[in-house]
Amino acid sequence: MKTWPVAVLAAVIVGSVVGSGVRSSGADPKPATAEHLLKLEGEFMNAAAVRGADGYMSYYAEDAVELPNGADAIQGKDNIAKTMGFLNNKDNQLVWTPVYADMASSGDLGYTYGTFEFRSKDKDGKPVVGHGKYTSIWKRQKDGRWKVVLDMGNDSPAPNGT
């Protein structure tokens, strides 16, 4: 469970988004807006929900880096993919909620951050939930498609101190 900041297997909750970086219009977002990143994150989450690790990794750039909590940085999509098999386990669910997105004026580099829950089961089959935060940096690739070039996660306390 080293690389779980941005993914989802089952329920997807896209929460409220705050901050000046986000265009709040309901119209179809232009590729160069922060709102476009939120749309991409929704597609990204759906891909992981439907196709597990393969769907999740399809949104990573070839030269992406993963910065997992408690482990060293993982360089490159192929190496990151080796750590994502847990997304194929139906007992594991990652639910994430972007809090904010922003985009460069050139529309080729942006980021999101937010919170996530990792719902799993312990060795006795008892449900357990981990809480955390993530940052994902998105970059438009040479072919025009958007990919995650950096993803980082860390821990949060359970809400209400429970």
Q: Which positions touch a second copy (CB under 8 A)? A: 19-20, 63, 65, 67-73, 99-100, 102-111, 113, 115, 133, 135, 137, 139, 149-150, 152-157
If the CB atoms of residues 11 and 73 are measured against a second copy, the closer one turns out to be 73
If the CB atoms of residues 82 and 121 are measured against a second copy, the closer one turns out to be 82
If the CB atoms of residues 42 and 113 are measured against a second copy, the closer one turns out to be 113
How far apart are CB 83 and a second copy at their closest, in Å? 15
If the CB atoms of residues 52 and 68 are measured against a second copy, the closer one turns out to be 68
* Best CA proximity match to 92, nearest among 3, 156, 157, 153: 3
Alpha-carbon distance 25 to 33, whole Å? Answer: 11
Q: Which one-letter DSSP state was computed for residue 18?
A: -
Helices assigned H by DSSP within the chain? 34-57, 77-81
Contacts of 103 (CB under 8 A, 6+ apart): 21, 32, 33, 34, 36, 37, 109, 110
How far apart are CB 67 and a second copy at their closest, in Å? 5
How far apart are CB 29 and a second copy at their closest, in Å? 17
